[in-house]
Structure 1
Amino acid sequence: MITMNDIVREGNPVLEQIAEPIEIPISDQDKNTLEKMLQYLKNSQDEAIAEEYNLRPGVGLAAPQIGISKRMIAVHFEDLDGQLYSEGLFNPKIMSHSVEKTFLSNGEGCLSVDREVPGYVPRYAKITVKALNRKGEPIKWRLRGYAAIVLQHEIDHLNGVMFYDHINKTNPFQPPENAKACDID
C-alpha cells in the first residue's frame, strides 16, 4: 500500500526529469504499480482509511511522485457534472487542446508539495488525451474544465513540470488571458 511516506517531495530530482515511456507489452510490475497508485487515490478519499494511515487526499498521482520515472498516472475524481474518472493510464499524451484557457479559482495543490502555493495556474480549457488503460487497451478522452485541469497537472509531472511553474511570478493572481475560472467546492 502506498502511503505519504512513499510520496517524494519537491526538490527531489525525479520530479524534474522527463519520465521514460512504458514499454509494450506492459510488464506485470508496471501494471501492479499503477494499481497501487490508483488504490492510494481511492484510500486517500475514504475518510476512515485516510485518517488511519495519515493520507493526504488526492485526485491524481504520477509515477515520478513515488520515485518512478515512468509515464504512468492514476486519476480518481468526479468532474463537475458527476462523471467519474477512475483509471490508471500508461503513456498518456495530450493530442490536442483548445485555445481557450481555464484555471482553478482557489489554485492547485500537489501531494509532492507540502506548502500552499498561491496563484492561478493557467491550463487549457479542453484537451484530448490518448493513453493505454490498465488493461493495455487504447483509450481516448475528450476532457474539459476540471477533468482537463487534473489530467494536465498529472501529465506535467511526466515532463518534469510542477504546477507552480505555470504561475505568473510577478502577479500570481492575474487571471490568465483568454481564460475562465473553473470553480470546485
Structure 2
Amino acid sequence: MNKFKPDYILTMKDIIKEGDPILREITDEVSLPLAEDDKDTLACMMQFLKNSQDPVMSKKYNLRGGIGLSANQIGLNKRMFVMYFTDSDGKLYEECLINPKIISTSASMIYLPQSEGCLSVDRDVKGYVPRYERVKAKAFNIKGEEVTFRLKGFPAIVFQHELDHLNGKMFYDRINSENPFKLPENTEIKSL
C-alpha cells in the first residue's frame, strides 16, 4: 500500500539520509503505462518541492528548500524524479520524469561556485562538482508520453544531480577527493 497519496504531506522525516543503502543502489525502471500509485507518488514529491519553496509551508512543516527529488530519496527503488524551479531567464521547470536517460552531452563543463546541496545530506559539503554544461535527455512524463529535451546551465546541473541519485551516486562523489577545489584538466569548464 502506497502511503504517498496526493493528500499526504511529505516532510523531512520522509527523506532518506546519506548512509542509507538505497541511495547507493541503481534504481529499477518503472513500468509503463504508469500505475496510479506511481502517479500519486510523483504528485506527492512535486508538492513537497512546492511546499519547501513556500515560506509559510516550509516553516509550518520545517522543510529544507529543494528543487529536485528522486524516488529513492523517499525510499522507493524506482527510476523517477521531480524538478521544480525557475531558471535565471524566468522559465519554470515543473517536471515529473520517469526512466530518464542522457542521450548526449556537451564537451564543455560547468560547476556551481558554492558547490551543490542535497535534501539527503544534512551537512555543508565544500568543493566543485563538475557537470556537463548541456545535456540532451529523454524520459517519459506523467502521462506516459516520451519527451526529449535539451537543458543548459543550471537546469542541466539539476537534471544530472537527480539522475545521479537514480544511479546510486551522490553529488560529492564527483568532487576531487584530494583537492575539492581542483577542476578536471584538459576540459573547458567554467563557473555558473
Superposed pair shares fold, TM > 0.5 = yes
Q: Structure 1 stretches (4+) deviating beyond 6 angstroms?
A: none
1:99-138 equivalences in 2 (<5 Å): 99-138=107-146
* 8 Å Cα contact 2:176/2:183 also seen in 1: no
1:17-36 equivalences in 2 (<5 Å): 17-36=25-44
DSSP-derived class of the 2:139 partner: strand
2-side partners of 1:47 and 1:139: how far apart? 32
Counterpart of 1:171 in structure 2 is 179
1-side partners of 2:41 and 2:65: how far apart? 19
CA drift of 1:81 comes to 1.5
CA drift of 1:137 comes to 1.3
Letter in 2 for 1:181: S
Letter in 2 for 1:100: S
* Paired residue total: 182
Counterpart of 1:80 in structure 2 is 88
Q: Percent identity at matched positions?
A: 54
DSSP-derived class of the 1:110 partner: coil
Counterpart of 2:190 in structure 1 is 180
Counterpart of 1:44 in structure 2 is 52
Structure 2: gaps spanning 5 or more residues = 1-8
Q: Deviations 1:85-129 (Å, cap 9, x if unpaired)?
A: 011111111111011010001100000000011000000000011
Counterpart of 1:157 in structure 2 is 165
CA drift of 1:83 comes to 1.1
Q: Deviations 1:121-144 (Å, cap 9, x if unpaired)?
A: 000000011011111111111001
Q: RMSD between aligned alpha carbons?
A: 0.8
The two structures have a TM-score, normalised by structure 1, of 0.96
* 8 Å Cα contact 2:129/2:172 also seen in 1: yes
1-side partners of 2:91 and 2:101: how far apart? 21
CA drift of 1:176 comes to 3.3
DSSP-derived class of the 1:65 partner: helix
